[in-house]
Amino acid sequence: MEASNRNRKKKHIIVVGGGFAGLNFARQLFNNRFFAVTLVDKNNYNYFTPLLYQVATSFLEPSSISYPFRKLFKNKGIAFHMATVADVDPTMNTVQLSDGAVLRYDYLVFAAGAKTNFFGNEVFQRKAFALKDMDDALYIRNKMIQALEKAAGEKDPEARQRLLRIVIAGGGPTGVELAGMIAEMKDHVLQEYPEIDPALPEIYVVDALPYLLAPMSDKTHEAAYRILDGLGVKLKLNTQVSLYEDGKVYLSDGTVIDAKTLIWAAGVTAQTFEGIAADSLGKGRRMVTDRYNKVLGYDNIYAIGDISIQFGDPDYPNGHPQLAQPAIQQGKALAKNLLALAKGKPMKPFKYFDRGDMAIIGKTHAVADLFKKKLHIGGLPGLLSWLFIHLISLVNYNNKIKTLYNWTVAYLTSDQALRMIFRSKRKTRDTMPDIVPFKK
């Protein structure tokens, strides 16, 4: 009874999304005495977004980079609800969820991140592969392995070539890292397919900008181009994908690439929610916030991570980059500010500390820009830095150990035995209600 009374006195925080921002926010509030916290997510697990491409290319297994929320929150005083947000009523301080539940909040924190931006092109959205969540990664993995199996049995040389040609739209971190990993797979995986000439697979990276890895330094642009070119990746810069039809990718420079696989990594746009005014949205449909991450036009609604944008930081007048580090830092900062508010202390404006950007290209090449691009690292130091940072960033020791083991095996043997195609067929009708996707 006493515990129940204490919980009734606590203010309720609903956190929408359990990625970098949402999870780090919740962790700061483990077993706190001021707030009852409920995290809402469409998945029942957290996953490490920067390594999705390694799942997609059969380099890591899904469990290496994911972990169930309920296990993370066990005995930590954080409630979990698997659903998506159908509607928000700011006047009543309620959130209606996709499973019919209605939750009341004192504070609402949006940390739902971003989704793939197809720029309104329904054909790309319907036919191209995206790589934004675990389902995408597993889908790409299955499709690429299926393409290899079909190519192995295909007698028509042109049809076989189409199956082995991949076009990646977007030369940012996702596109570059994915292209590098697929390119290196050719040297090892194709040894298992004697029917396929190792010279046949072709990988294209297409980007509208004149360089790769746009947010990073000129040295990194040059290094990324040189490494991918050395791996045999065909680079089409200052070029856009304009059409994808009948298995053909049409580029803005007039080139037509006959390819069965188009992977879309050309940008993201923020998740949006019914009930949040359009006036509160800014560039990329991100929620505009003040320096304390409070959403414009609301007194008790906050946004952190990729879904938010704030213009008050003089070092980032156009908003912070949609990367892991800003999301992690905003999640921690907002939790500390709400605790300070509960204690009658002033909140502190958010200040982003840039620890640098990194990308790994293939298995043995990495580039890093540290200290606001003042220090460029490549080669072995860059690779070791990338491996260390990503390993310590995984959510718990179970993930760290699994990933370290898988990386060790893969690096020592140049192989991973994860190239199985698993199909799931429902034998009986599922009685659980469908979890609908986030509203667009």
Sketch out the chain's domains with CATH numbers: 2-42+83-116+269-342 (3.50.50.60), 122-266+356-413 (3.50.50.100)
Residue 146, Ramachandran bin (φ over 0: left; ψ between -120 and 50: alpha; else beta): alpha
Angle of the 218-230 helix axis to the 173-189 helix axis, nearest 10: 20
Spatial contact of 124 and 244, defined as CB atoms under 8 Å apart: yes
Please state the φ and ψ torsions of residue 17, each to the nearest 5 degrees. 110, 130
State the pLDDT at residue 4: 43
Spatial contact of 320 and 309, defined as CB atoms under 8 Å apart: yes
Dihedral angle sign, alpha carbons of residues 76, 79, 84, 87: negative
Q: Distance between CA 411 and CA 364 in Å, rounded? A: 9
State the pLDDT at residue 392: 66
The amino acid sitting at 31 is N
State the pLDDT at residue 434: 45
Record the tokens describing residue 148, joined without a space.
Answer: 């290899």
Q: Distance between CA 25 and CA 331 in Å, rounded? A: 4
Q: Distance between CA 256 and CA 259 in Å, rounded? A: 9
State the pLDDT at residue 130: 95
Do you know the residue count of the chain? Answer: 440
Nearest CA to 57 out of 241, 188, 153 is that of: 188
Q: Distance between CA 121 and CA 19 in Å, rounded? A: 27
State the pLDDT at residue 315: 85
State the pLDDT at residue 41: 97
* Three-state SS sequence of 90-126: CCCCEEEECCCCEEECCEEEECCCEEECCCCCHHHHH
- The pLDDT tens digits along the chain (440 residues) read 344 444 558 999 999 999 999 999 999 999 999 999 999 999 999 998 888 998 998 888 888 888 999 999 999 999 999 999 999 999 999 999 999 999 999 999 999 999 999 988 999 999 999 999 999 999 999 999 999 999 999 999 999 999 999 999 999 999 999 999 898 887 778 888 889 888 888 999 999 999 999 878 888 899 899 999 999 999 999 999 999 999 999 999 999 999 999 999 998 999 999 999 999 999 999 999 999 999 999 999 999 999 999 998 888 888 999 988 899 999 999 999 999 999 999 999 999 988 777 777 876 677 777 766 666 666 666 666 666 666 666 666 677 777 776 666 666 666 655 566 666 555 444 444 444 444 43
